[in-house]
Structure 1
Amino acid sequence: MTPPPDIVPDSQHRGLAGALPPGVRGYALLARFDRPIGWQLLFWPGAWAIALAGGAIDRWDLIAWFALGSVAMRGAGCVYNDIVDRDIDARVERTRHRPIASGMVSVRAAWIWLGVLCLVGVVVLIQLHAHAAIVAVASIAPVAAYPFMKRITWWPQAWLGIVFSWGALVGWSEMAGALTAPGLLLYAGAIAWVIGYDTIYALQDREDDALVGVRSSALALGARVRQGVAVFYGVAVLLWSASLWLVRPDPLALASLLPAAAHLGWQVATLDPGDGAGALARFRSNRLAGLLVFAAWFVVGQTSG
């Protein structure tokens, strides 16, 4: 299969994925192994919670398990999403070359691949204490419902926020032994962050989504996309600040969030809703935003208590 143009980022065969034999490549692309930004964004909320709880150094092993789990479960989520959305994907320019929609991988084979990835998730799950494992298992229901949200609500990005931020609840439960206020505020802030960056991502598909009847926050906000993203990013920073304050009530602790806040502000200030390539670049820059927030949690977590 000839790779489509660069304007179709979901179909690019890059790096190791592009070097794989055709029979294997489809599975790598189906799990988005060629696009690490997804698992990185899924990873950060859990890593944040561990760092804020003071475990960034002592529990480096837990962070490593979360990284592995993020790769596997993000891949599983993509496979499930593509199974559910195969008919829609075939009608959208950016997604019509995805493995199931294009016929590269059969639906039956995709279900088997999904099971393999979930087994990796189970290996990570058994590394957790019982209370954290229960919190992790509770994510199955919202994860299963996510692909259908774009059909019934204009805000599927909010549901993605619930799902993609769940690692914060798991990480905080594992470290603190319970879901206390700092962890819950961190989780709520992560949801607002996800809504913001996924609204930016959805700008690429506004025309196709409108044609096929798929809903998104980018369509719901219309001409007010930049203002909407600014509000969600602002809410995220406020909630993260409250979480930090509960752990360490010190203005210097709040100052640790300034680099992340400045980066999110740059995204909003330079966002052109009509520029799909620019929107994708700003979406991808959230891997840096995640790192900057982690740095704040690391500093506060290591200097508190």
Structure 2
Amino acid sequence: MTASAILPDAAATNWVDRHAPPALRPWLKLGRFDRPAGIWLLMLPGWQGIALAGAEKGQWPNPFLLVAFFVGAALMRAAGCAFNDIVDRDFDAQVSRTAMRPIPAGQISVKQAWAFVFGCCGVSFLILICLGWLAIGLGVLSLGLVAAYPFMKRITWWPQAWLGLTFNWGVLLGYAAATGHLSWTAGLLYASGIFWTLGYDTIYAIQDIEDDALAGVKSSARRLGDRAQYGVAGFYAAAFVMAMAAAWLGGLGALFLPLAALFAVHLSRQAAAVRIDDPVGALKLFKSNTLAGLVLFLALVAGLWAPETRF
């Protein structure tokens, strides 16, 4: 495999390898722009928080906030991936799926990667300061979660739970940016997202289960083993129940329910298809969560209608 080879979990037709100038490709791959699913999975909780705040007031989601969270999610996901690669560069060199990432492959130095991290964070901060003091505080606090995440796989079997805490912080941030305060409804939606991430990242970790064992890296997929399917089903069930509780407590309209049911069906079909010995299938299931998260966002938007029939 050459240094320019496409990463195994990047689509062979990804836009970076097809269209980006060769000099930019290592940088775009450092930020995982060749694999946009992670941007969606970081952005959608923020959009869900914004949608929940709007639905509680019978209003559409704030379009400025939706755009701001899209750009911020893309930049912060890139910064987080680069930081993770800096910390994990020795582990990545031992895992077949990650050995050709730009840092272990020698395409980008650690110093250059740090400059990339600080650049992405700097632009993200300029977006953050437009969102109000509570959102600014929450954004700063999230850096602690981001910084700790790469070390979780060394100390706990459940780094996926920590990723859930990190990736779904946007629910609180989006809700706070839209309302200027937090609420129990936002907290329940945040908890729902944590379990959702715990489920889909357990599926993702199935890809690396053998290499992780050789490298001494812990994961929920390794911990659950043959029970991974049942674990994912339980995590997804908890995610659905807490999303329903958030909508009920927030007084959303009954039009929330049809799309919420579709969200539940999507998650249940994923759980039924999980196989611990099928890493290719696991990647497909993982990527399908962009659609799951979008469906829940649309369900929350739909909840602003028919307030007289709140469920």
Calculate the TM-score normalised by the size of structure 2. Answer: 0.93
* Separation in 2, partners of 1:203, 1:102: 23
What's the CA shift for 1:57?
3.3
Q: Which residue of 2 aligns with 1:278?
A: 281
After superposition, give the CA deviation of every residue in 1:93-142 in whole Å (9 maximum; x if it has no partner).
00000000100101111111111111121121012011111111110111
1:19 aligns to 2:22 (yes or no): no
| Conserved? CA contact 2:79–2:120, under 8 Å | yes
For 2:110, the equivalent position in structure 1 comes to 107
Taking a change above 3 Å as real, the CA distance of residues 250 and 67 of structure 1, as seen in their structure-2 partners, is closer
Matched position secondary structure for 1:110: helix
2:220 is aligned to 217
Task: Output the CA distance in 2 between the equivalents of 1:174 and 1:249.
Answer: 19
Q: 1:247, 1:304 within 8 Å by CA — same for their partners in 2? A: no
Q: d(CA) in 2 for partners of 1:58 and 1:114?
A: 30
Going from structure 1 to structure 2, the CA distance change for 1:13 and 1:144 (only over 3 Å counts) comes to farther
Contact 1:271 1:279 survives alignment (8 Å): yes
Alignment pair present for 1:290 and 2:289: no
Specify whether residues 33 and 252 from structure 1 end up closer, same or farther in structure 2 by C-alpha distance, changes over 3 A only. Answer: closer
User: Aligned ranges for residues 132-171 of structure 1 at < 5 Å?
Assistant: 132-171=135-174
What residue number does 1:72 align with? 75
- Distance in 1, Cα, partners of 2:22 & 2:123: 23
Deviation for aligned residue 1:304: 4.3
- Which of residues 118, 121, 125 in structure 2 aligns to 1:118? 121
- Residue 42 of structure 1 is matched in structure 2 by 42
Question: What is the deviation of 1:20?
Answer: 2.7
Give the letter aligned to residue 77 of structure 1.
G
Aligned residues of 1:51 and 1:294 also touching (Cα < 8 A): yes
The one of 178, 185, 202 equivalent to 1:175 is 178
Contact 1:89/1:95 (CA < 8 Å) preserved in 2? yes
- Contact 1:17–1:28 (CA under 8 A) maintained in structure 2: no
Q: Structure 2 counterpart of 1:214, which letter? A: V
How many residue pairs align between the two structures? 304
- Describe the SS at the equivalent of 1:193: helix
Q: Is the 8 A contact 2:44 2:294 kept in 1?
A: yes
Question: Any unmatched runs of 5+ in structure 2?
Answer: none
Structure 1 residue 11: Cα displacement:
8.9
Aligned to 2:52: 52
Question: Secondary structure of the equivalent of 1:281?
Answer: helix
Q: 1:199 aligns with which of 193, 197, 202?
A: 202
User: Which structure 1 segments of 5+ residues have no match?
Assistant: none
- Residues 206-260 of structure 1, C-alpha deviation per residue, up to 9 Å, x if partnerless? 0000001000000000110000000000000000000000112666544431000
The one-letter code matched in structure 1 to 2:27 is Y
Could you state the TM-score of these two structures normalised by the residue count of structure 1? 0.94
- CA distance in 1 between counterparts of 2:248 and 2:172 reads 18
Matched, 1:242 2:240: no
Residue by residue, what CA displacement relative to the aligned partner does 1:13-66 show, whole Å, maximum 9, x if unpaired?
A: 831344333332111100011110001000011101111111773511110000
CA distance in 2, matches of 1:107, 1:10: 22
Contact 2:41/2:293 (<8 A) preserved: yes
RMSD: 1.9
Structure 1 304/172 Cα, relative in aligned 2: closer, same or farther at 3 Å? farther
- Paired residue type of 2:66: I
Aligned equivalents of 2:114 and 2:13: distance in 1? Answer: 22
Would you say the 8 A contact 1:189–1:236 is kept in 2?
yes
Determine the C-alpha separation between the residues in 2 that align with 1:109 and 1:10.
Answer: 23
Question: Secondary structure of 2:103's partner?
Answer: helix
